[in-house]
Chain A
Amino acid sequence: MEYITNFKALNSKLTPLETMITHYGFTDGTGDWYLVLDTDKCNGCGECVEVCPQNILEVGQDEIDIFREKPVASIKQEARKKIRYHCAPCKPGYGIELPPCVTACKLGAISHSEGWKQINRCEKH
């Protein structure tokens, strides 16, 4: 997943987003701490919910796109502001191993920001 950082090259290069992405987490002085969900890929199977040792994921009605009928994974409301600490135990050595949620998602819908160093299933394969 690439983010546009060069704003001068922006107007020419950027293509419209094709999938719906949600960022849960926050930016603070130490970096970006986000769990990124591609909700177009997500089919609401709930595999990630089962494997998350911190129990911060849930599957339910899409609260951003209220007209979506398919259930979707999201982060529990109370965990959103503490995501850095919730996700840290799954990242020994800052992301040498894939965390369980990323491995469990067969559709490659889950990734993390660079705070813990970005791990993206799509890039690995």
Chain B
Amino acid sequence: MEQKKENSVEFWRWPESNWVNPDLPWKKGKWITAGVDVGSVSTQAVVMVDGELFAYGNIRTGSDSPNSARKGLDDILEKADLKLENIDYCVGTGYGRVNVPMAQQTVTEISCHARGANFMYGSQVRTVLDMGGQDCKAIRIDERGKVLNFIMNDKCAAGTGRGMEVFADLMHVPIWEIGPRSFQITREPPHVSTTCVVFAKSEVLGLLERDVPENEIIAAYCSAMAHRTRDLLNRLGIEKKFVITGGIAKNEGVVKRLEKELGIKSEEKVWANSKYRKKKYPFDTQIAGAIGAALFAYELLKMDKIKSVRKG
């Protein structure tokens, strides 16, 4: 059994990542805050020093949410030579936010993604589309990253990261190749009639039987996903600048098709902060929620300090 497991290739497995800011000595910082975003598929942890990005980690969520949260944070703490005691305030967010043991406060993922997108892409962002592991959120925000209007579809896994993982496994194509391969086609295929994750298998098998080229099936699935997301944005209305966060944002096959359907370009995946851009800090679309949580932690901490000073 063990042997078999090792030999089989897991096509859905997307790479984990972590990063520590080399230019920021945390010891000189006044307040260190952390945000942990425990999603259904991935867990992100972000550490910020006085509202500046210090470190982040992105791992897969296991079956045990508290453990994933702990592991996600511990990994980067170790790398950054920090200790849990050094963190002044921690905010938990995401689907498993009640299961973050070290969090002093929980904030909904909608608020956090809005705040995070505002920090990452800049204050001109008005529409955020988060394509997460098992849900899809469309959020309208103002220049401070405050939520003005939102829709969350978490009732159906079609058009989400998990759906794409299942599809990658079905097609025996590594998940990061889905995007590029969906463009290696001679013609844009017709829509897949159903994007349901459970029915995807029979649909794909049917197409393969009819000798439809593999890349065309991939393209069809990508465009079906884009189409579904468009319906969500359609309801909310869309305003420039428009950004996409979450795991699917890394999949060009879906992003390009969605942009085409909407007739509006999504913003380039670069830091709005010119200092970050200049120093070429890595940009991960999946960490928006955790960044938002860490920023909320910073704000809540400041508020708490002010209150306690007034009381004292």
Contact = CB atoms under 8 A, between A and B. Distances in A.
Interface of A: 3-5, 7-8, 10-11, 14, 16-17, 19-23, 26-28, 32, 34, 63-67, 81, 113
Interface string B211-233: 00000000000000000000110
The residue in A7, A8, A81 that gathers the most chain B C-beta atoms within 10 A of its C-beta is A7
B154 A81 contact: yes
Contacts of B146: 20, 65
- Chain B, interface size category, equals 20 to 34
Nearest to A19: B148
Contact of B238 (A4, A27, A32, A113): A4
B203 to A, nearest CB: 15
The residue in A17, A65, A81 that gathers the most chain B C-beta atoms within 10 A of its C-beta is A17
Contacts of A11: 240, 264
29 contacts: A3-B234, A3-B235, A4-B237, A7-B234, A7-B262, A7-B264, A10-B238, A10-B263, A16-B126, A16-B142, A17-B140, A19-B148, A20-B146, A20-B149, A21-B149, A23-B152, A23-B235, A26-B153, A26-B154, A26-B156, A27-B231, A28-B155, A34-B235, A64-B147, A65-B111, A66-B296, A81-B154, A81-B155, A113-B235
Contacts of A26: 153-156
B146 to A, nearest CB: 6
Contacts, number: 79
- Interface on chain A toward B: helix, strand, loop, or mixed SS? loop
Nearest to A14: B239
Nearest to B146: A65
A5 B148 contact: no
B129 interface: no
B110 interface: yes
The residue in B107, B142, B147 that gathers the most chain A C-beta atoms within 10 A of its C-beta is B147
The residue in B111, B150, B235, B299 that gathers the most chain A C-beta atoms within 10 A of its C-beta is B235
Given A7-B263, A32-B235, A64 B156 contact: no
B148 A3 contact: no
A16 B142 CA distance: 8
B263 A8 contact: yes
A102 B262 CA distance: 33
Contacts of B142: 16-17
B151 interface: yes
B148 A20 contact: yes
